[in-house]
Chain A
Amino acid sequence: MSLKDKCAIVGIGFSDFGKRVPKSTMTLTLEGCKRAIEDAGISKDDVDGLLVVLPSSEGERHGWVCRLGSYLGISSTFSAGLDIGGATPIAMVQLAAMAINAGMCSTVLCCYGWQNQPMGIPLTMPPGLDFTVPYGDFAALPFKAHVARRHMYLFGTTSRQMGAVAVTCRKHACMNPGAQMYEKGPITIEDHQNSRMIVEPLRLLDNAPITDSGGAVVVTSAERSKYLSHHPIYISGMGQAHSGEFMRPWRDPRYPEGTFEGGKAADIALGMAGINHKDIDVAQFYDGFTILVIIELEAYGFCNPGEGGPFVEEGRLELGGELPSNTAGGLLSEGHLMGMGHVAEAVRQLRGECGKRQVKDAEVAFVSGYGGAPHEYPISFSYSTLILTR
């Protein structure tokens, strides 16, 4: 049984967010939940399913989703805490649709909270980091520097091309008063090239900022969605792909070794929705780092392997371009909203709420998530996708 258009996103909401928000992870989560429920025009008592991103910044906290339910005063018949890194927000929406159609619940709140410097959480070195940290390799960013280096080596991709992604996202953020970088104003390729090296070849402006935030979306059945505040935004396609293979998610006969089919995440979603790439009006690509957008474009079949650099350089991702993308500014400039920001912006675009940055007559949106723990051994990647329609 296809789940195409069987469920819809009917509410979105975020906490106040920014580089430092002096609130706990739970408070940020609760604020996002409250706003999403209000946006949907439902009562919290209508919610009977609860999904949350496991907040790894809090350490190992068993029962996080159950405590969240207690704080919200929600008694659910389906709950789970999930983690596939930045691919999780989309995975929650997918699981919500499955749970509703399985008859486990009728309306699901999918949420997250992220506080970058929670008090009293020690830095530990779990197994896996033993093979990176002693060499001075830390956190998620340096591995993307390796991904970028390989892409530059294989295809001649340039730092300026990566810069084009950052410039596009900032341009869009400047049309979004809620964006973390709104007041910083636009940037140029030269600004990108002049920004300091963090881990070569990645510069400061290749990276998303640190963001403390919380957010949520409400998913319910297509039937129920007709009677709520907003035009329902249907979940028309969804896909995932995971692999421990190395860093080339695209299918390329020239480089068979180490190639894995990360692109399956898009194939499955497009197949379910019964559409192809040219039907997509607006896209939100997971962009914790500029290079990821280039790689996703190739993996998901928007261009051929190795053509992602020239693709972004020619302005195709800008509003008015052939594939307007990351229209709220993306993780790079709206803020690191874990990928939930991408789901929400797709919903806003399809509702037609985006004002100056509205893609005219947007009816089909593509959204992607990316995650895993590629800075730990064994290296692994997760890709998740959604096709949303109005």
Chain B
Amino acid sequence: MVGKFEGLDIPKPVPALTEDSKPYWEGCRRHELLIQRCQDCGHYRFPPSVLCPKCMSTNTEWAAASGKGKVYSWTIFHYLYHPAFSRDIPYNVAIVQLDEGPLLHTNIVGCKNEDIYIGMPVEVVFEDVDEEISLPKFQALAE
């Protein structure tokens, strides 16, 4: 699969900021992981949304998350879905559960794919992609 895209320099897709997600991505750019918290019931939610799925309240604050969590699930991509990822194959995509509760898709960095496991303690690190976007990724939590 990699062969057919060889020599092409195709950039990786980046998120487009929306009214809902802008504070999240702006936080990431400052290397801060911000998650919405309901000001009425305290529930943390992701993805960003106008209202709380627990109590329907629209009173919302952006709270600094601890940046710590555990690997909830992980996969290894052997199939190339997008040419921009051809140099990364095989790469991992994990779901991390933040200590605050929400689940995030991400990549685990700084370790071999085969060393990832469910329950692995991790912490956020930010990868600067361009002038606007930094992607939150996760690495093994320093003991």
| A residues with CB within 8 A of B | 125, 127-128, 130-139, 142, 145-146, 149-150, 153, 196-201, 244, 246, 377-379
Query: Distance (Å) between the CB of A206 and the closest chain B CB?
Result: 12
Chain B residues, CB < 8 A from A201: 75
Nearest chain-B residue to A246 (Cβ)? B103
Which among A128, A130, A139, A142 is the interface contact of B75 at CB below 8 angstroms?
A: A142
Give the top 3 A-B pairs by smallest Cβ distance, nearest first: A130-B15, A138-B81, A200-B76
A276 CA / B32 CA spacing, docked (Å): 53
Query: Distance (Å) between the CB of A322 and the closest chain B CB?
Result: 32
Chain B residues, CB < 8 A from A145: 75
Interface of B is mostly: loop
CB-based contact B75/A127 at 8 Å: no
18 A-B contacts (beta carbon < 8 Å): A125-B13, A130-B16, A133-B13, A133-B15, A134-B15, A134-B133, A138-B82, A142-B77, A145-B75, A149-B74, A149-B118, A150-B72, A150-B73, A153-B73, A199-B75, A200-B75, A200-B77, A379-B103
A99 CA / B116 CA spacing, docked (Å): 51
Given contacts A128-B47, A197-B76, A198-B78, contact A142 B135 (CB under 8 A): no
CB-based contact B93/A378 at 8 Å: no
| B residues with CB within 8 A of A | 12-16, 18, 20-21, 46-47, 49, 53, 72-79, 81-82, 85, 88, 90-91, 93, 95, 103-107, 118, 129, 133, 135, 137
Q: Which of A134, A135, A150, A246 has the most C-beta atoms of chain B within 10 angstroms of its own C-beta?
A: A135
Query: Distance (Å) between the CB of A330 and the closest chain B CB?
Result: 22
Given contacts A146-B73, A200-B76, contact A134 B93 (CB under 8 A): no
CB-based contact A149/B73 at 8 Å: yes
Given contacts A127-B21, A142-B93, contact A135 B88 (CB under 8 A): no
Nearest chain-B residue to A142 (Cβ)? B75
Known: A125-B16, A131-B104, A146-B95. 13 other contacts (CB 8 A): A125-B15, A132-B93, A133-B13, A134-B14, A135-B137, A142-B77, A146-B74, A197-B78, A197-B79, A198-B78, A199-B75, A199-B93, A379-B103
A379 CA / B47 CA spacing, docked (Å): 9
Chain A residues, CB < 8 A from B15: 125, 130-131, 133-134
Chain A residues, CB < 8 A from B93: 132, 135-137, 142, 199
Nearest chain-A residue to B13 (Cβ)? A133
Chain B residues, CB < 8 A from A378: 46-47, 49
CB-based contact B75/A136 at 8 Å: no
A199 CA / B80 CA spacing, docked (Å): 10
Nearest chain-B residue to A153 (Cβ)? B118
Given contacts A136-B93, A377-B47, contact A127 B78 (CB under 8 A): no
Query: Distance (Å) between the CB of A372 and the closest chain B CB?
Result: 15
CB-based contact A196/B103 at 8 Å: no
A198 CA / B80 CA spacing, docked (Å): 9
A377 CA / B74 CA spacing, docked (Å): 17
CB-based contact B21/A196 at 8 Å: no
CB-based contact A135/B105 at 8 Å: yes
A198 CA / B81 CA spacing, docked (Å): 10
Chain A residues, CB < 8 A from B73: 146, 149-150, 153
Chain B residues, CB < 8 A from A127: 16, 18, 20-21
A149 CA / B95 CA spacing, docked (Å): 11
CB-based contact A136/B81 at 8 Å: yes
A130 CA / B129 CA spacing, docked (Å): 14
Chain A residues, CB < 8 A from B105: 131-132, 135, 137, 377
A133 CA / B133 CA spacing, docked (Å): 14
Chain A residues, CB < 8 A from B14: 134
